[in-house]
Structure 1
Amino acid sequence: MQKLPKLRQLKAFQEIIRCGSIRSAAKSLGQSQPALTRTLRELEATLGTALVTRGAHGISLTESGKAFAVRMHFILEELKRAQEELSHLNAHSQGKVAFGFSSLIAFTVLPGVIRDFRMRRPLAGISFKEAQLSNLIPALREGQLDFAIGSLNEDIPLSEFIEEPLFTAPFSIIASKDHPLANCTSIDELRHAAWFLPETSMGYYKELENYLWPIEGSILHSDSISSILSLVTKIDVLSAIATAMLHPLGLGDTIVALPIKPELPSATYSLIYPRKAPLTETARLMIDTIRRHCRKHNWNKP
């Protein structure tokens, strides 16, 4: 069997990456610079490749170093989480779960999910991140999240993940009630309008931009739903959100859904988790709770 890197070597390499130089990393770890250099060389010898190059302004990763760093961060995060899980079990705790989702989940099923989960695991730790799926996938790869929920399309590479479709949600173009285009009924009438859309390199909103193309007006981007809604209500910009968000946001007095025909394409939202990282019991319970609430929710209702 090929010799594997040692844990102390991985932690040393991780600190070198974080600090940007061997000197700073050695100081952070309380080691001498020659000792840390020796550890790095041992790791490179084990892997059979150079991981860093030195320059006037510190170290930079080689292509091999960049590739190994991604896997290494995941391995160390999994070891950390395994240790935490055992610690929680030994302390008669109820585990922890970390997951990510888009704003649609936050404004619809999330409160019920958290309430029901708390009834089963009142002492469990819960952390979550709201973002587009394109921004959640790196955290999944590094093991910072147990799973994520987001909209998919063919641009998202999923070979390393397990995908489970949860629901399909229709989308609406929105504008302030006073927007001059608020009563438009066709996409062609909106070509010259200004838009404010979530920023993403993949998924539904990227597909939507292709659907709306060519847009001859300007497009602003942000991953903040509060910023998007604020500008939609106060200046003449259009946006698009899941129809199921219209009522929970309580914006009926200021925002309208345009009566566009044909309607926008719907988005498929799926559960995504790493294929090679086993889910903890606590994460599985959270997923089961989410599945149940997604099945019961009416995604077509504003």
Structure 2
Amino acid sequence: MKLHQLEALVASADTGSIRAAARLLGISQPAVTRALREMEAEQQLPLLVRSPSGLKFTDHGYALLTHARLVLNQLRQAESQMSIRRGQIEGRLCIAVTPWLSLTLLPEVVTEFRRRMPNVRLEFFDSFVMITQPLLRDGYMDLAIGQASPAMSAQEFLIEPLVRYETGIMVRRGHAKEGCKSIHELLDQDWLLNYAPDGRDGLMQEVFWRHGATLDEKRVVLAHSVLLSQTLVEQADMCTWVPSIMTAVPPFYDRTVLLDLEERFSPRDLSIISRRNGPQGSAALSFIDCLSGVIKRRLRSSNPVDRRVFATLTPL
């Protein structure tokens, strides 16, 4: 397989047609068609199905596409690393960040990182497992900073815990159930939850089942956005399970409350997650160093606001 063939395959998948792939790559349409046909001939397998409605990938095509994305993304990372070694200190760093970190430490971390590497282009995602896991796997994303999913095997991903944080049930301030004392009193409420497809049972076990509670599935709304979560908790009276720190930071502080329930929930680890077989470049290592430094400073801070915000965190 040749590089231009892999580029044609990925561009065709991203755009949905050979014509659009040619525009994306800046080459002729016959050149894209030829690259794809050469690849199919070399592999002796049908990779794409062409129809008036566009391109569709066969199972063989999807399998190869996964590897093609990884190869091209690793090449991009290699080029970025070589630029840094030439002293240009430029490139791209793509990171998923858990919401509570975005609301607390991230601005200071980014400021420090930009001072060190001003020419590196940063790209951030919310660290929801459904989004981050495939992007880490195919090499598009360099790091995820958040809670590791049970599906992230140690053989595939490197998981390095940073801090442990407490969790609890959050509702809007003034909610009808604000004074309740047990999870069983909340089973008639609508719930806002977030989990990957393979993470449902683990979350239900932690929040409900191990406390002898069963929540009607029709009560659950899935959300993969912090803004959406905030809106639904505040304006639709939904309950949600969150890191305790969320109620101590804007925009949730003074507008939400953590319920004082007799049930207790297990703490979670904030971890740095990366592909095990993908070496971390200088930019990624610098970002991790900035993050570690900010965490240490803020956890030791005597500032009353910092002490309130970070009271639920424990360094690891």
TM-score interval for Structure 1 and Structure 2 normalised by the shorter chain: 0.7 to 0.9
SS state of the match for residue 41, structure 1?
helix
Structure 1 regions of 5+ residues with no counterpart?
none
1:209 and 2:209 are equivalent in the alignment: no
Match of 2:126 in 1: 130
SS state of the match for residue 284, structure 2?
helix
The AA in structure 1 aligned to 2:312 is N
Deviation readout 1:137-159 (Å, 9 max, x if unpaired): 12112222211112134344453
**Matches of 2:119 and 2:20 in 1, distance apart?**
39
Supply the RMSD in Å over aligned alpha carbons. Answer: 2.7
Deviation readout 1:140-199 (Å, 9 max, x if unpaired): 122222111121343444532111122221112111222121111111111111112235
- C-alpha deviation, 1:62, in angstroms: 1.4
Q: Pick from 164, 170, 185: which aligns with 2:166?
A: 170
Whether the 8 Å contact between 1:174 and 1:255 is mirrored in structure 2 is: yes
**Matches of 2:145 and 2:17 in 1, distance apart?**
37
SS state of the match for residue 277, structure 1?
coil
**Matches of 2:272 and 2:223 in 1, distance apart?**
23
**Matches of 2:20 and 2:140 in 1, distance apart?**
25
The AA in structure 2 aligned to 1:262 is E
1:240 and 2:270 are equivalent in the alignment: no
SS state of the match for residue 70, structure 2?
helix
**Matches of 1:109 and 1:276 in 2, distance apart?**
28
Q: Pick from 22, 28, 31: which aligns with 2:28?
A: 31
SS state of the match for residue 124, structure 1?
strand
Whether the 8 Å contact between 2:166 and 2:268 is mirrored in structure 1 is: yes
Whether the 8 Å contact between 1:153 and 1:207 is mirrored in structure 2 is: no
The AA in structure 2 aligned to 1:228 is S
- C-alpha deviation, 1:56, in angstroms: 4.4
**Matches of 2:226 and 2:110 in 1, distance apart?**
21
Q: Note closer, same or farther for the CA distance 1:291–1:39 as it changes in structure 2 (3 Å cut).
A: same
Q: Note closer, same or farther for the CA distance 1:25–1:259 as it changes in structure 2 (3 Å cut).
A: closer
**Matches of 2:84 and 2:148 in 1, distance apart?**
34
Alignment of 1:250-269 (within 5 A): 251-269=252-270
**Matches of 1:225 and 1:267 in 2, distance apart?**
18
Whether the 8 Å contact between 1:162 and 1:272 is mirrored in structure 2 is: yes
Match of 1:228 in 2: 229
* TM-score when normalising by structure 2: 0.82
- C-alpha deviation, 1:23, in angstroms: 5.2
Aligned residues: 295
The AA in structure 1 aligned to 2:241 is A
Deviation readout 1:76-115 (Å, 9 max, x if unpaired): 1222333344345546335542211110211222123223
Deviation readout 1:256-293 (Å, 9 max, x if unpaired): 11101221222222211112221111111111222344
SS state of the match for residue 245, structure 1?
helix
1:300 and 2:297 are equivalent in the alignment: no
- C-alpha deviation, 1:245, in angstroms: 2.1
Match of 2:306 in 1: none
**Matches of 1:226 and 1:147 in 2, distance apart?**
23
- C-alpha deviation, 1:254, in angstroms: 2.7
* TM-score when normalising by structure 1: 0.85
Whether the 8 Å contact between 1:14 and 1:73 is mirrored in structure 2 is: yes
Q: Pick from 148, 157, 161: which aligns with 2:157?
A: 161
The AA in structure 2 aligned to 1:190 is L
SS state of the match for residue 179, structure 1?
coil
Percent of aligned pairs sharing the same letter? 27
Whether the 8 Å contact between 1:132 and 1:223 is mirrored in structure 2 is: yes
